[in-house]
Chains A and B, each alone.
Chain A
Amino acid sequence: MRVPLSWLRELVDVPTSADELAERLTMVGIEVAAVRRVTAAAQGPVVAATIMSAVPHPSNPQWRICRVSAGSRGEFQVVTAATNLAVGDRVPLALPGTRLGPDWTIRREEFGGEPSEGMLCSATELIFGIPHLEGEGILQLPHKCPPGTDVVEWFGWSEDVLELDLTPNLAHCFSLLGVAREVAALFGGKVRHPAVARVRDLPAARTEVILEDPEGCPAYVASEMEAVRPVASPPWLMWRLRTVGLRCHNVVVDITNYTMWELGVPLHPFDADRLGDVIRVRRARAGEELLTLDGEVRKLNEEILVIADGSRPVALAGVMGGKDTEVTSQTRRVLLESAYFNPFVVGRGARRLGLWTEAASRFAKGVDPSAQYTAALRAIELLEREKAAVLVSRPRLVGRLAQPHKRLLIRPARVAQLLGIELGKEEVAAALRRQGFQVAEESQERLAVTVPSQRVDLNEEVDLVEEVARVHGYDRIPAHRPVGALVGAFRPEATRLKERVADLLVAAGLQEVVTTSFMPLDVLEALGLPEGHEWWQYVRVMNPGNEGQRALRTSLIPVMARVLTHNVARQQRGVHVFEIGTVFRPAAEDPDALPEERVSVGLLSWGPIGPRRWCQPRINSNFYYLKGVLEELFGRLGVGVRVTRVDHPLYAPGRGAQLLVGEIPIGHVGEWKPEAAQRLGLRGTVATAEVDWGVILAKRRVLERVASPARFPAVFRDLALLVPREVSAAAVAEVLQRAGGEYLEEVELFDLYEGPQVEAGWRSLAFGLRFRAPDRTLTEEEVSDIVERMLVSVRERTGARLRT
């Protein structure tokens, strides 16, 4: 919403500068985004000149050669095609060097051999910098504007305009009148209401108005006007339209727009000769169409409220008029509509049509429901004053307008309590009176407040509380710490544990990342996951903003792959990252059920681990690195996890594993198939893992008590076993553990060898064993006996034998 200062000053005294006003308005919630200087399009020497002679051009009868005198600026010869000129006229002359637009600079030229030392201009050319309107002609200056005067300066075509950035509740500020009320409240002034036409003794209107949808349109004022002259608007009106950012059409249309800006009530003029005798406000029927003013054919349906005549829709109610009934230069009779339309109905229609016109956005936010008759009279006043049309019958009001005021109750004690300020009854009343409201004592505790119906945002007590706070000033509310019962403020266990998991992964050397919740389907494709894989079973977004927002992520791996490719492109040598985030699955069956949300922990590791070091070689990330991170994580959290081989479509054959708690799969870890990495332009081994965090939360062991440190020394033995290749390391360790009995504290695999030193089909696994008794020092003989038992057991169960 733009508020030109000169216009505002017509309605209310503004005893301050534009910048100060902007600051004050902002601090009462009417945000002024900017104070802009609006100027006429014409930049440069445009001077008033008197036409001294005008003779036809010898070679082109459409042109005339004029001698003009611009007082002290001298005399000039101008060739013009304008027809509305006579000797003695005072007109604006744009001298060479004047810029009317970015590509429009006036130069000294020759037309048919006759020099032309400038251009005589229309108001449209000077103000908007666009070619004159149909039939507009050269701007005729009053004779009190002396020759040689700078025309732009003389008209005052340069002023400050406030650019308001309004929240939707401030519907009343979408009008100069509403802003003027706020300004009056701020500075204690009085609003000057614009003049309206007096209703004279005229015959009743002939047009019949039928409101078929009283909810959508409860009140309609139709005014019949004749002797219409839809010429170009006078300069003052054009300038106003320029300052608020509207274009000019003809004086009839321009005055309706002007009235909308002034009072906040949208109006619409129809060419009455193109309308039937009856106006019906009704819902459109499916299949109906309307060619609107913007030249689009709109397909209509029952959600859209229309103005129709006897046979067809002629306008989208409150949104836009129809092309066929538009007021043009041919129009001789006008039907002026001033109606109240339901905000929700207009809003829904505008949203469906994607057509947010100035009128539609005002109706949707809420127009003063009492002001339609007055607004019609204001427009009629202006139309008659500008001799643009004459009212020929009494405006017809059909339906009911709201009362111009509404009465609300407020308890001053409630105000004080909600704002935390000591405010008495008198102070509350005074604050509301400053807003221009009438305040009376309703009872001991309550005040009755009469507010104008334009304030559609004020409907209940709490609205008035806010109004008092606004007037009183938010800056005068003190800052107090709340006083109240202490409650155990904490992070819930689930949140705390997420932090713990993240901190453990950080300690393990991984960088946390945060990625988008949308699934990159192209990456999913590149990873080579077959159709039907659960990662493709995603939740669809109905209205994605772009291709990348069609699906919600079902896994963190594809989005983390993006992090990898981005960083590889940025010359990173190693990428070792994790994310803890939500993944989504469609709800089973029921389309109205909310999709399933699960927290997932994703890990991705690629490239060498850690920096290059002078004292030790570094290893490249692989399956075992991520598995180790997970083992550490699960160990710390006390989750018993088993790892078994699995075929996963992302992972290379034999390089993927499933993580199980009991028999429940909780995730996977593996090295990508080489083609997956290649399709993303990556070289080397990419290892990833993903774990369902919910299981960690449910299955973790809570540490309850710990054993005292051991009192007796342990006995250590190392055992190198030859094991058939097909026997897993875990199987051997498990047998050892079981056979070891109560004194075996730990079995740790510390070496693995396959190669020429070992028979084909076999490998050597070396285990470190630790034995300890709780009540004494074990003897060598005891330990040897146990180890012997373990060897027998491991031989029987796995075929392993001692390596000698």
Chain B
Amino acid sequence: MVCLERDIEQLTEEARRLIEEATDLAQLDAIRIQYLGRRGKLTVLLRSLGQQPPEVRPRLGRVANEAKQLLQRLLADKRQMLVKSAKVPTEAYDVTLPGISPLVGRRHPLSLVRRQMEEIFIGLGFEVVEGREVETDFYNFVALNIPKDHPARDMQSSFYLSEEILLRTQTSPVQVRVMRERAPQVPLRIVAPGRVYRRGDDDATHSPVFHQMELLAVDVGLSMAHMKGVLLDFARKMFGPDRKIRLRPSYFPFTEPSAEVDVSCFCDGEGCRLCDGTGWLEILGAGMVHPVVLRNGGYDPEYVSGFAAGLGIERVAMLKYGVDDIRHFYRNDLSFLACFEDMGGGWM
């Protein structure tokens, strides 16, 4: 019995000395595990008390618990001391030195704008679909009410790969392709972003390769007023909550009635260089889907109607960010690309 009591004292003394000599927190942690851990010396000893005669158990228990509490206290005190006396770095930082920035790239402005446009339309209930860049004459023209030798073919100049195959001149061929997949289901609401190709001018406002986003809705009872509602929502989310839109009669073979859609200029009608003093910026073409196109898509124009719009992604990006030359987007000058960041700036 006495022997056990002495063991406890000895252990305590041994631990106390080690604690005193410890110089860092890791040592202190090791000491704690050595004596008080699950298989620590004092723990093991305490566990063996059960085998002692009942009459000495209370006394031994008290001694052992006191020892345990003592060590815990010593450990805690020493820990506090060590923490307090932790070495203070002597050299002050020059906090104005540049930090170590992580290396992060950027999306291309056309991707940022496309994504923002997609998100606006997704929010309005439109689903994103993609189409082919190489198309047949049928889907690019004929199905869209532009037969061979139609004067509207002269509105655009196409890159042909063979007599019947060409690089699409517009995202509109997606219209008939998707309608044929989905008809007669309604509602159909899609946006189709993608590359389009036109042969001809290559200047500050024309690129032989550019991007469009097609908008198409087909449902029972859709009207031009609905088209105007959706486009107004788009204009405001893209260009600001105070924008107005204006529809002017125009002509596209695949819509009727057709409209050019202008958004009020950032100068609020004062007239500036951007809008050529008119107060309006032309942003897209739109219209009610022509009955011929609905029929080509497998819908009956007597029962459903639809609206469609084609937006130029570069055009939107140029207006939104004041870019004066479409070719900047394709030259990929890194210093130019570095200017673009998705900072919202939309009004979502």
Q: Which of A487, A567, A614 contacts B187 (CB 8 A)?
A: A487
Contacts of A491 in B (CB 8 A): 118, 122, 128
A365's nearest neighbour on chain B, judged by CB, is B151
With an 8 A cutoff between CB atoms, is A582 at the interface? yes
- Given known pairs A347-B151, A541-B159, A597-B133, the reply for A482 and B247 (CB within 8 Å) is no
Complex contacts, B249 vs chain A, CB 8 Å: 27-29, 466, 469-470, 474
Residues in B with CB closer than 8 Å to A343 are 151
Complex CA distance for A420 and B228, rounded to whole angstroms: 10
| B209 contacts A513, C-beta separation under 8 Å | no
Residue pair A168, B334 in contact (C-beta under 8 Å) = no
Verify A502–B111 contact, CB threshold 8 A.
yes
- Cβ-neighbour of B162 out of A482, A516, A592 (below 8 A): A592
CA distance A575 to B159 in the complex (A): 32
Is A613 within 8 A of B224, CB to CB?
no
* Interface presence of A388 (CB below 8 A): no
A168-B155 CB under 8 A given contacts A487-B189, A566-B333: yes
Decide if A420 touches B256 in the complex (CB within 8 Å). Answer: no
Taking the closest CB of chain B, its distance from the CB of A266, in whole angstroms, is 15
| Smallest CB gap from A574: residue in B | B334
Q: How far is the CA of A478 from the CA of B330 in the complex (A)?
A: 39
B-side contacts of A546, CB under 8 Å: 202
The answer to whether A549 and B230 touch (CB under 8 A), given A420-B224, A499-B115, A511-B334, is no
B108, B132, B222 — most chain A CB neighbours (10 Å): B108
Instruction: Chain B residues near A591: list those with CB within 8 A.
Output: 162
Which range holds the interface residue count of chain A?
A: 35 or more
Q: Say yes or no: B161 contacts A572, CB within 8 Å.
A: no
How distant is the Cα of A170 from the Cα of B151 in the complex, in angstroms?
Answer: 11
The answer to whether A611 and B221 touch across the interface, beta carbons within 8 angstroms, is no
Complex contact A597–B134 (CB within 8 A): yes
Q: Given contacts A478-B225, A507-B104, is CB(A582)–CB(B332) below 8 Å?
A: no
In the complex, how many angstroms separate the beta carbon of B260 from the nearest chain A beta carbon?
A: 8
How many B residues touch A, CB cutoff 8 Å?
90
Which chain B residues numbered 121 to 159 have a C-beta less than 8 Å away from chain A? Answer: 121-130, 132-136, 149-152, 154-155, 159
Q: Is A357 an interface residue (CB 8 A)?
A: no
Tell yes or no: A506 within 8 A of B by CB. yes
When the two chains form the complex, which single residue of A28, A469, A484, A514 contacts B219, counting CB atoms closer than 8 Å? A484
Check B149–A490 contact: CB distance below 8 A: no
A465 to chain B, nearest CB (A): 6
> A516 with B125: in contact, given A487-B187, A506-B104, A595-B161 (CB under 8 Å)?
no
- CB under 8 Å from chain A, chain B span 66-121: 97-98, 100-101, 103-108, 110-111, 115, 118, 121
- Contacts A597-B133, A610-B103 given; does A474 touch B259 at CB 8 Å: yes
Looking at the assembled complex, report how far the CB atom of A82 sits from the nearest CB atom of chain B, in whole angstroms.
46
Check A543/B159 contact, CB under 8 A, given A167-B251, A474-B248. Answer: yes
B197 surroundings in chain A (CB, below 8 A) = 517
CB distance from B317 to the nearest CB of A (A): 11
Known: A566-B331, A566-B333. A419 touches B149 (CB 8 A): no
A169 to B250, CA, bound (A): 9
The answer to whether B107 and A516 touch across the interface, beta carbons within 8 angstroms, is no
Least Cβ distance of B92 to chain A in Å?
Answer: 16
Q: Please, which residue of chain A has its CB at the minimum distance from the CB of B257?
A: A466
Given A514-B332, A577-B332; A489-B103 close (CB under 8 Å)? no
Chain B interface main SS type: mixed
- Flag if A541 contacts B161 (CB, 8 Å): yes
- Contact status B134-A477, CB under 8 Å: no
Check A594 against B132 for contact (C-beta < 8 Å): yes
A462 to B217, CA, bound (A): 18
Q: Out of A487, A563, A609, A613, name the residue touching B100 (CB < 8 Å).
A: A613
A contact residues around B128 at 8 Å (CB): 490-492, 495
**Does residue B246 face the partner (Cβ distance < 8 Å to A)?**
yes
Q: Does A510 reach chain B (CB closer than 8 Å)?
A: yes
Chain B residues with Cβ below 8 Å from A540 are 161
Q: Taking A26-B248, A567-B333, A613-B100 as contacts, is the C-beta distance between A465 and B111 under 8 angstroms?
A: no
Specify which chain B residues have a CB less than 8 angstroms from the CB of A509 in the assembled complex: 103-105
- Give chain B residues whose Cβ lies under 8 Å from the Cβ of A167: 155, 250-251
A168 touches B332 (CB 8 A): no
Closest Cβ of chain A to B225, distance in Å, is 3
Encode B200-224 as 1/0 by CB contact (under 8 A) with A: 1010000011000000010111111
Chain B min CB distance to A595 (Å) = 5
Q: Does B51 interact with chain A (Cβ within 8 Å)?
A: no
Q: Which residue of B lies closest to A496 (CB)?
A: B128
Could you tell me the distance in whole angstroms from the C-beta of B112 to the nearest C-beta in chain A? 9
Query: Given the complex, which residues of A lie within 8 Å of B135, measured CB to CB?
Result: 594
Q: Which residues of B contact A567 (CB under 8 A)?
A: 332-334
B337 adjacent to chain A (CB < 8 Å): yes
Given contact pairs A170-B251, A462-B290, A545-B202, A489 touches B125 in the complex (Cβ within 8 A): yes
Chain A, 159-202, CB within 8 A of any chain B CB: 167-170
Partner of B127, one of A31, A348, A365, A487: A487
Q: Which of B97, B103, B110 has the most CB of A within 10 A?
A: B103
Q: Do B248 and A27 touch (CB < 8 A)?
A: yes
A231 to chain B, nearest CB (A): 37
- B180 an interface residue at 8 Å Cβ cutoff? no
Q: Is the CB of A545 within 8 A of B248?
A: no
B125 touches A480 (CB 8 A): no
Q: Does B165 contact A (CB under 8 A)?
A: yes
Given the complex, which residues of B lie within 8 Å of A340, measured CB to CB?
none
Given A419-B225, A481-B230, also A517-B195 (CB < 8 A): yes
B224:A584 contact, CB within 8 angstroms: no
Q: Which residues of A contact B330 (CB under 8 A)?
A: 514-516
Contacts of B181 in A (CB 8 A): none
Tell yes or no: A344 within 8 A of B by CB.
Answer: yes
Shortest CB-to-CB span from B60 to chain A, Å, is 31
A-side contacts of B257, CB under 8 Å: 418-419, 465-466, 469-470, 474
**Please, how many angstroms separate the alpha-carbon atoms of A549 and B160 in the complex?**
11
A110 to B73, CA, bound (A): 127
Supplied contacts A491-B128, A549-B208, A613-B98, 19 more A-B pairs, CB within 8 Å: A344-B150, A417-B223, A462-B288, A465-B256, A466-B249, A477-B228, A489-B122, A489-B123, A489-B125, A492-B129, A495-B130, A502-B107, A506-B106, A507-B105, A511-B105, A511-B106, A517-B167, A582-B133, A597-B133
Minimum-distance CB pairs A-B, first 6: A420-B225, A29-B249, A420-B223, A167-B251, A509-B103, A466-B257
Query: Which residues on A are within 8 Å of B, measured CB to CB?
Result: 26-29, 31, 167-170, 343-344, 347-348, 351, 364-365, 417-421, 460, 462-463, 465-466, 469-470, 474-475, 477-482, 484-492, 494-495, 499, 502-503, 505-518, 539-546, 549, 552, 563, 566-567, 570, 572, 575-578, 582, 584, 591-592, 594-595, 597, 609-611, 613-616
A-B contact pairs, 27 of them (CB 8 A): A27-B248, A28-B249, A29-B248, A344-B150, A419-B224, A460-B291, A462-B256, A470-B257, A479-B245, A480-B223, A481-B226, A485-B187, A490-B122, A490-B127, A502-B111, A506-B104, A506-B107, A509-B103, A513-B332, A516-B208, A539-B134, A539-B161, A541-B161, A549-B159, A552-B161, A570-B334, A595-B165
Binding site for A on B (CB under 8 A): 97-98, 100-101, 103-108, 110-111, 115, 118, 121-130, 132-136, 149-152, 154-155, 159-162, 164-165, 167, 186-187, 189, 195, 197, 199-200, 202, 208-209, 217, 219-226, 228-230, 232-233, 245-251, 256-259, 288, 290-291, 305, 329-335, 337-338
